[in-house]
Amino acid sequence: MNRIRYLLDEHVSYSLRKAVKNHDSDIVVRRIGEAGVPSVGTLDPDILIWCEANSFSLVTNNRKTMPGHLKDHLAGGNHVPGIFVLNPNLTMGETGYELSLIAGTSEPEEFTDQLIYLPVTE
């Protein structure tokens, strides 16, 4: 089974990585600004292109403009492995659990070209 891999937006707390890995240490979680991923300040459309090219699902708290970026990305004939939008009402532990549950029970292609608002377990 292929595993979902996550790229955390630069505005997402780095502690979310630890929260996800507390549930499953094998999940790949990277964050904008780390070596080998887009740098801090990279525009959202370019992040979506990187996610598509590298098979990473984006985790973001960008509820306002990300839907439009995804629409434009898809209209350009591109795809994305999925975008997971954080819920500000969930604790870091609950969010880590949600993302680990998704990665552990889903195939990456289940979320292709979708914007998914957490939680998915409600």
Domain CATH code at residue 51: 3.40.50
Instruction: State which H helix or E strand residue 58 sits in.
Output: strand 57-60
* Residue numbers of the domain that contains 104: 6-117
Q: Is residue 1 part of a domain?
A: no
Distance CA 69, CA 67 (A): 5
Structure tokens that stand for 19 in this block: 């929260």
pLDDT beyond 90 at 60: yes
Q: Are 108 and 27 in contact (CB under 8 A)?
A: no
Q: Is residue 122 part of a domain?
A: no
Domain count, the chain: 1
Q: Is residue 96 part of a domain?
A: yes
Average pLDDT rounded to a whole number, residues 74-102: 96
Average pLDDT rounded to a whole number, residues 6-27: 96
pLDDT beyond 90 at 122: no
Q: Is residue 30 part of a domain?
A: yes
Distance CA 56, CA 63 (A): 19
Count of beta carbons in the 10 Å neighbourhood of residue 92: 15
Q: Does the predicted TM-score (pTM) go above 0.85? A: yes
pLDDT beyond 80 at 121: no
Q: Is residue 83 part of a domain?
A: yes
pLDDT above 90 covers a percentage of the chain that reads 94
